Each structure stands twice: as C-alpha cells, then as structure tokens.
Amino acid sequence: MSERFYVTTPIYYPNDVPHIGHAYTTVAADVAARYHRLKGDEVWFLTGTDEHGQKMLEAAEARGQGPQEYLDAMVPNWKALWDRLDISYDDFIRTTEQRHKTPVQAFWQRLYDSGDVYLGSYEGLYCVSCEDFYRESELREGNCPVHGRPVERVTEENYFFRLSKYAGWLLNDYYERKPVSVQPGNRLNEVRSFVDQGLQDISISRTSFTWGVPIPWDTNHVFYVWIDALLNYITALGFPDGERFGRFWPGVNLVGKDILRFHAVTWPAMLHAAGIDPPQLVFAHGHLLVGGEKMSKTKLTGIHPDQLLETFGVDAYRYYFLREVAFGQDGNFSWESLVARYNAELANGIGNLLSRVTALIDANCGGEVPDPSAATGDAERALRLVVERQIELYEDALDAFAFHTGLEAVDAIVREVNGYLVETAPWKLAKQEGTEERVGAILYASAEVLRLLAVLLSPVIPQAAGKIWASLGINTPLSEQRLPAAVRWGGLPVGARIARGESLFPRIEG
C-alpha cells in the first residue's frame, strides 16, 4: 500500500549564488523524494527561497537595487542550478509570493487572537548574517558563533510569541514521540538540553525596516524573517484549506544543523500553539567543511557546484557527497577525495562492470541476454544471496536517510559481482568447447546485477542509471519500476538486445 511522503529543504537566502553546502541538502532531499517514488509512495517535494529580512535588504541596497528587483534577478540562478543537478522538486516557494504572505498573516492572527502573542520591548545580541539572536554564553570571543562577525545589541518594541509556554509540551510530548521527531540522536539531545535550560519568549516582529510581511493587526511592524519563513512548509501546501495541506502535512524537514533550533524548537511550538500537527521529522545534517571550516557565502568560502560539475558531471557530483559523508555528521570536502571516490567506485566499479559485461555478451551471446536456466549453479546462488542481503540493507538505510550506508551496500554489490566475474572467468570458459550454457548463466547473472544496480541507483545517479537500463535493452521504462518487485532476482528478459555505449564514467587523472 502506497504512503504519502512530503520532504522539504530549507528555503535558501538568495542574497548570493548557491554553493555546494546548499546543493548538499537539496540533492539529499531529491534522493529521498526519488526513492519514495520508487517505492510507489505519493510524494511532494518542496524547495524555495527565503526573501525577506534585513540581510536581504542590505544585499539589494549594496547593488543599488530595490529588494524585489534584486530578488527577481537572483532567484533564477538557484532554479537553474537545481535543474543542472537533476532536482525533481514538485514546487518552488518564494516568500514574496502572495500565496505565502496571506496565510502567514492568517496564522499569526490566529495566535494573536488566542493570546499567544503580546507586545513588549526586546534587547538582545543580533547577527544580521544569521538573522538570529544569541545569548552571551553562545558567542565566541564576543562574535557570532557561525560567522565569526561582531553581533549588534538591538533594542526594539516587538511583538512576542509565548514560546516559554510550550517547553513542557516539547520535552514531554514532541521529543518523546516514536518514531523520533528529531534526528540524528545527538541533535535531539542538543535541542532537549536547550529547552531544558529554560525557554524565553521570542520576538516575532521588527520596526527598524519594512522589508517583510506586514503584521495584520499593527502595520507598523513586519514579521521577523524566521517567523515568516518557517511557515513556507505549510503555505506552499495551501494552508489552511488547501487539499495538499490536508494530504501531505505533517512532513519531513531536512535542514542544516546551524538552523536546528528554529526547526526543532520554535517551529513545532508555533504549530502546536495554532492547533496544527508538528513536523513528522526534523533531520539536521552536518556541515560540509573545506579546510576544516564550514562553507559560507558571508566568509566568501563557498564553492559553486559548477566548478565540480564541469569536471565530474552531475551523477558523480550527486553520488560523491552522499557517499563520502555520513548524513547527519560533518564531512570534509576535497578535490582529491572526489577524484579518488570517482575513480574507485564509479569509473573502475560501476562503469567498468557495465563495459565488461556488455562486451562479453556481445562477443559470446550474439548481443542478446542469454538463457541461464540450464546451467545456473552454486556460484550464481551465492551471488544472488549476497545481492539480496545488500538490497535489504540499502532499503533500510534509505528509509532512515542514511544515504552513505545505502551507497555502501550498492558498492558492496559491485565489488561482489566483479569478484564473481574474476572467479568464474567467463572469457576463459568461452574458449573451451561445450561451455556455452555455463558462460550464458554467468553472463545472465552479471547482467541481472546490472539491472538491479540501475534500479537501486536511479534515485542517486538518475542519468547514469538510465544509461545502464538502456544498455540492457529492457523495454519497460526505468521510471516505471517500483519496489519491491523491481529488485526481485530474475527480472532481466532473456533475449533482450544489449547496446554497448560510451564509457559511463571515464577515468579522471589528478
């Protein structure tokens, strides 16, 4: 029975071009969405841009433009990159759209009317780059812990949300839910500890600038950017009355660990206060580090994905980051590690396997998938058992957003079948008389593994997976395959015409 799966990325600040840290989250969400479509689930995948706030206004002014003009020029850069990375999003929300602004006002009007919003005065330490306030104890040598820049002491008359009222609900209900509401476990412990220290009510408005969604009951204020932005996950679904909102919420919010508190403390409390279910899951991944530091547009340490796509291609790009880094932990990026992973697992592994098997079938079986029934033996049965076990590990891993573990299982399959080919040596057998059926059984098993690999890899490297599928001459489209039927052994049609193509992943030197 199919289920519904709603996954979101954070909405990104388009105050500059995206870097590979942004693409990391987006590729992960795309792989999750594609995997659940492969399972036959009804999927909705949202991404978008966060377009209000002081930082955005300053970025526009620095270029001598009004904020809307500036944003309308910047947002296409983000959409173009997602197209280049094969991101299969279903919707792209911009917080300057009326479909977002109107329900934001309706949401907060509900909380104001219920007494969860009040007028007060606020003084705090504010980082413009983060659009966030910090406690004195959180600063590093007096600077923002994320950007290393001085914070500003801000005093304003603001409206406040009674966040402190919901500390007990967060600790005793939301964080105790099964399946867990925040992952990985260390991030759940982090937010539980933060809330346990005591929550303060939070400011939800600003009067020092006007670039934001106006507060409906007091138009001298605009909503604080985070208070507006978090609601994109439901406004994009048509909250409060939209059909998709009823079908898909609550969903899965994939975020970076630096915005965990907004998503795992403020966001669920806001929703609970409004009588709306909180997120099913907030999954906070780690940072991609270059030279031990988090990539940052503010620090000018961001690497644009185009710098890597030109050399390695989109599939290798997508594969590398999810294979190299355990999703949920920090991971270091380097050009050298990308080259090594590409050559070892894509060029020498998957690519070489495809070239070898299709060439052997072309040379020994007239270019058609042979019939294995007469000569399948213990070696093939052993191969099948290993492959089936790794498929189970792959499915368990992707269900848990453990993309690196899923790809380890795929690599284990590739290594197993390459070892099987070395052991059985069909190129040697083919030179002996009376071995045609045995050679056919070996090559069928090897080609069947390629078919299974195409299915398993289709969420991660969709273009390469499609080329593997096409090489095997299977008439039914790869896009129509559904788990678990698609990964049952023996699905490769006997007699299918093999098509040898160009090298799937040519080796890269240096």
Identify the structural domains of the chain with CATH numbers, from first to last.
335-487 (1.10.730.10)
Question: In 249-288, where does DSSP find H-type helix?
Answer: 260-261, 267-273
**Residue 422: Cβ-neighbour burial (10 angstroms; 0-12, 13-18, 19+):** exposed
What pLDDT is recorded for position 189? 97
DSSP for 88-140, please give it: --SEEEETTSHHHHHHHHHHHHHHHHHT-EEEEEEEEEEETTTTEEE-GGG-B
**What's the rounded mean pLDDT across residues 35-62?**
95
What pLDDT is recorded for position 1? 57
Say which DSSP state 213 is in: P
The torsion of the CA quartet 467, 473, 477, 483, rounded to 10 degrees, works out to: -90
Model-wide pTM > 0.75: yes
In the predicted structure, residue 298 carries a pLDDT above the cut 80? no
Strand 252-256 versus strand 4-8 pairing type: parallel
Cβ 495 vs Cβ 369: under 8 Å: yes
**What's the rounded mean pLDDT across residues 89-110?**
98
Question: What is the side-by-side order of every strand in the sheet holding 117-127?
Answer: 132-134, 117-127, 152-161, 202-203
| Dihedral angle sign, alpha carbons of residues 180, 185, 186, 189 | positive
Residue 105: CB partners within 8 Å, gap ≥ 6?
213, 214, 215, 216
Q: Which residues are catalytic?
A: 19, 22, 127, 130, 144, 147, 294, 297
pLDDT, tens digit (0-9, with 9 covering 90-100), for 461-510: 999 999 999 999 999 999 999 999 999 999 999 999 999 888 999 999 86
In the predicted structure, residue 301 carries a pLDDT above the cut 60? no
pLDDT, tens digit (0-9, with 9 covering 90-100), for 320-349: 999 999 999 999 888 999 999 999 999 999
Cα–Cα dist 73/78, whole Å: 10
Q: Which is more confidently placed, 136 or 283?
A: 283
Q: Which is more confidently placed, 130 or 314?
A: 314
Strand 132-134 versus strand 117-127 pairing type: antiparallel
Cα–Cα dist 110/94, whole Å: 23
What pLDDT is recorded for position 6? 98
What pLDDT is recorded for position 502? 87
Q: How far does CA 207 lie from the centroid of its chain?
A: 35
**What's the rounded mean pLDDT across residues 392-398?**
98
Cα–Cα dist 474/472, whole Å: 6
What pLDDT is recorded for position 510? 66
Mean pLDDT, all residues of the chain: 93
In the predicted structure, residue 141 carries a pLDDT above the cut 90? no
Distances (CA, A) of 461 to 30, 87, 150, 343: 11, 11, 42, 15
Nearest to 400 by CA among 47, 41, 31: 31
Nearest to 281 by CA among 22, 503, 32: 32
Distances (CA, A) of 267 to 122, 125, 215: 20, 21, 18
In the predicted structure, residue 294 carries a pLDDT above the cut 70? no
**What's the rounded mean pLDDT across residues 304-332?**
93
